[in-house]
A and B are shown apart, each in its own frame.
Chain A
Amino acid sequence: MNGKMTALEAKRLLMEANPAWKAFWFHNGPVARSLKQLSETLPKVKADVFNHHVNAIKNDLAAWVRDVIGDKQLAGDMAKAKTQTAAADLVANRVAELEKNLAAEPRKKAAAKKK
């Protein structure tokens, strides 16, 4: 992840609950309103549901991450992911990275205060 991202931005990408109409609507399945929710849901959806959204013609997941979440870096990576495991891993890694970034923020602030 780029080191310049602010905690606010990381928090937005990670957890912002989008309005219902901007949620990712899995075909015949659950909805995900944030990247965090997507990371929890994506590994659990059935293979045919994943293939419904990610196939030779389209990649709805990459489009949603780009257009709604606004994470172009992750969207670019997801556009290349052709399997459910690969896509779920990418989202999980991104979420872990953002959470790490967020967790580090208070420590950074405390260190700055000490100085």
Chain B
Amino acid sequence: MPSVCLYFQVHQPFRVKKYSYFNIGHDHQYFNGEGADSLNNRRIFEKVAGKCYLPANRTLLDMLERHPAFRASFSFSGVFLEQAEHYAPAVLESFRDLVRTGRVEVLGETYHHSLSFLGSRDEFARQVAMQGEKVRRLFGVKPKVFRNTELIYSNEVAQLAERLGFRGILAEGADHILGWRSPNFVYRPVGTKKIGLLLKNYRLSDDIAFRFSSRAWAEWPLSADKFASWVNQVNGNGTNVNLFMDYETFGEHQWADTGIFEFMRHLPEQVLKHPDNDFATPSELLARHRPVAELDVPHFVSWADVERDLSAWRGNPLQDDAFAAVYRLEKPVQESGDAVLMDDWRKLQTSDHFYYMCTKWFADGDVHAYFNPYESPYEAFTSYMNAVEDLRLRLETKGGEHV
């Protein structure tokens, strides 16, 4: 019997405003873009709250109330939660309502939605602890299953997550790591003893997240009963169907007029029509099913782009320079003991900054352009590097030594 495992990523970065060379040295507010541009974080948050978070949470709460068997899970970046607290407390409260049902699991991740696993394992562990603490404080629960930023995963990520106390980890069910295997089982990461690996069924996930409104798609329009029939096909050939996606799929990537909310609203009853189907949270899946086999993933995979690798964030010299520049400041930032400097440094680690510098303009070009608030990757790079340089100067001033 396949259990449908819904996992939604909820994140909004603190975008760096247009920060020119002339800002360096006197303007230390990197994230306070104002006006009508796409770098105004408050404006963006309020827009997405109205289009996605609030209506999607209402839909989900309705689904939970009508279907006792329905389950879902979320991970919230700490920077999302901060913005929710400041810009839209009603959004935070509506997520709390979902978690209070006891049938919505909150997962662990890095507080700053960062690439810190690639830059500094110490910083990674600190950010995971920070996010766990924030979740505990806001939702009263302790994350037991981990998902790394952008589902970046390898054996090493799983091994470290196990050492940090997690019992499960999420990853992309990328073709090149699966080969002939199915993503619809629980696996054991190589080099671990206790942690279970849940893989995204990317075909079914992307049918909702990317193809749902595409009229060029042969399966358009996608109805809940049609989708449930695809889930039913897994019966006998898998224990779980993991549907992992950005929460902004609902209302923001797929607008309300595409019917996405109605699709979701009807999904539980259609899935549950088959007596062998149900829904499960990641922790429930791991409690029910022992791993069927070890899965060896020596190289990084992610859920981004057709390559499912790191090239969305670490694929060109601009990104590599920016990445090196920010992690070069780790030691002086830590030594400074200055909470404000530390906070700015961490906000500059958010993966989105590097994504905006991506210069891939082939198959994934449309996706990158859609998500990029800057006019070009070079503009993103310039603003970012100027902000990092200002931070470096502040550290130098603070510490009195050359950084």
23 A–B contact pairs at CB < 8 A? A19-B292, A20-B182, A20-B185, A20-B236, A20-B237, A20-B238, A21-B181, A21-B292, A25-B178, A25-B181, A25-B182, A25-B237, A31-B237, A52-B175, A53-B179, A53-B180, A58-B179, A60-B180, A63-B179, A63-B180, A64-B179, A64-B180, A68-B180
Closest to B292 in A: A21
Residue ID in chain B nearest A31 by CB atoms: B237
A-B pairs with beta carbons under 8 A, tally: 38
Contact B179 A21 (CB under 8 A): no
Contact of A58 among B176, B181, B185 (CB under 8 A): B176
Q: Is the CB of B176 within 8 A of A23?
A: no
- State how many angstroms separate the Cβ of A21 from the closest Cβ of chain B: 4
Residue of B with least CB distance to A59? B179
Confirm or deny: A28 has a beta carbon within 8 angstroms of a beta carbon on chain B: yes
CB 8 Å contact bits of B244-257 with A (1 = contact, 0 = none): 00000000000000
Whether B293 sits at the interface, judged by CB under 8 Å, is yes
| Chain A residues touching B, range | 10 to 19
* A28-B203, A31-B237 known; A23+B179 contact, CB < 8 A: no
Let me know if B237 and A23 touch, CB within 8 A. yes
The distance in angstroms between the C-alpha atoms of A93 and B150, with both chains bound, is 45
The CA of A52 and the CA of B175, in the complex, are separated in Å by 9
> Contact mask A62-97 → B, CB, 8 Å, 1/0?
011000100000000000000000000000000000
Residues of A within 8 A of B181 (CB): 21, 25
Give chain B nearest CB distance to A49 CB in angstroms: 11
> Could you tell me the distance in whole angstroms from the C-beta of A24 to the nearest C-beta in chain B?
5
If A19-B292, A25-B178, A57-B176 are given as contacts, then 14 extra A-B residue pairs at C-beta distance below 8 Å, sorted by A number, are A20-B236, A20-B238, A21-B182, A25-B180, A25-B182, A25-B237, A27-B175, A31-B182, A31-B237, A52-B175, A53-B179, A60-B179, A60-B180, A61-B180
Q: Which B residues are CB-close (under 8 A) to A21?
A: 181-182, 185, 292-293
Chain A residue with the shortest CB-CB distance to B186: A21
Measured CB to CB, the residues of B under 8 A from A are 175-176, 178-182, 185, 203, 236-238, 292-293
B176, B180, B238, most chain A CB atoms within 10 A: B180
Minimum C-beta distance from A48 to chain B (A): 12
Do B293 and A24 have beta carbons less than 8 Å apart? no
Report the nearest A residue to B204, measured CB to CB. Answer: A28
Complex interface: chain B residues within 8 A of A58 (CB): 176, 179
Residues of A within 8 A of B182 (CB): 20-21, 23, 25, 31
Alpha-carbon gap, A52 to B203, bound state (A): 14
In the bound complex, what is the Cα–Cα distance between A47 and B191 (angstroms)? 36
The smallest C-beta distance from B298 to any residue of chain A, in angstroms, reads: 15
For residue A68, which residues in chain B have a CB less than 8 angstroms away from its CB? 180
Find chain A residues with CB under 8 A from B175 CB.
27, 52
Contacts of A61 in B (CB 8 A): 180
> CA of A63 to CA of B181 in the docked complex: distance in angstroms?
11
Min CB–CB distance B309 → chain A (angstroms)? 13
CA–CA, A24 and B182, complex, Å: 8
CB nearest to B291 among chain A residues: A21
CB distance from B211 to the nearest CB of A (A): 13
The listed residue with most B CB atoms (<10 A of its CB), out of A23, A61, A64, is: A23
Q: Which residue of A lies closest to B182 (CB)?
A: A25
Residues of A within 8 A of B178 (CB): 25
Nearest 9 A/B pairs, CB to CB: A21-B292, A25-B182, A64-B180, A60-B180, A60-B179, A24-B180, A21-B185, A31-B237, A20-B237
* Distance in Å: Cβ of B286 to nearest Cβ of chain A: 16
Q: Which chain A positions have C-beta within 8 A of B238?
A: 20
Could you say which residues of chain A place their CB within 8 Å of the CB of B179?
53, 58, 60, 63-64
